Amino acid sequence: MSYLQERILSDGVALNEDVLKVDSFLNHQIDPVVMNEVSKEFVDYFGDKGITKVLTIEASGIAPAIWVASELQVPMVFAKKTEPSTMKSEDQYTHDVHSFTKNKTSRVIVSSKYLSADDRVLIIDDFLANAEASLGLVDIVKQSGAEIAGVGICIEKSFQPGRQKLEDAGIDVYSVARIKELGKDKITFEEGH
């Protein structure tokens, strides 16, 4: 059992059959041991794929993405959820992404200065459920002309269709922890990555 799985069992809270709260160690307060362990797994799996950039969406994906980028010694880019006044609309890649947890759609933005056709991009995020965020980032990578090396996910909800959508799109997916079932005070893991 991975350290992340241990932390999910000890400190994660299944609020219902769809929502897992892990803000005490993953996406509000950050446990550096968790980040170190998940980044090692991502680097072990994707490290030989010629990655030149790591991409995520603010805010929860930033911690694991920067850890992985540091290990790979490549830049990390994050898609912004608000357009800065310093970025002209013709200098950006955008995609509308719906958040299941927040029930909100945000236009995410990446400056065209930071992704190009010369890049090979690894997408990293904290959760995979319906793949809206990952597919939005995949679209942004395609807009730039870059190649997608794969998608690395800290926690996948395997009972939701995200992985299948990504695999149907030809994307290599690696998840550190795969949740098979959630229920009030019940968390069951699925084998494999």
Q: Would the annotation count 65 as a binding residue?
A: no
Read out DSSP for 121-190? EEEEEEEESS-HHHHHHHHHHHHHTPEEEEEEEEEEETTSSHHHHHHHTT--EEEEEEEEEEETTEEEEP
The response to whether 133 counts as a known ligand-binding position is yes
Q: What is the mean pLDDT of the chain?
A: 93
- Domains, the chain, with CATH or none: 3-189 (3.40.50.2020)
Q: Using one digit for the tens of pLDDT, what is the confidence trace for 129-152?
A: 999 999 999 999 999 999 999 999
27 is in an annotated binding site: yes
Q: Where are the beta strands (DSSP E) in 36-145?
A: 53-57, 76-79, 92-99, 104-111, 120-128
- On whether 36 is known to bind a ligand per the annotation, the reply is no
Tell me the per-residue pLDDT of 27-45, one tens digit each, with 9 for 90 and over.
999 999 999 999 999 999 9
Q: Is 129 annotated as a binding-site member?
A: yes
Indicate the pTM of the whole model.
0.94
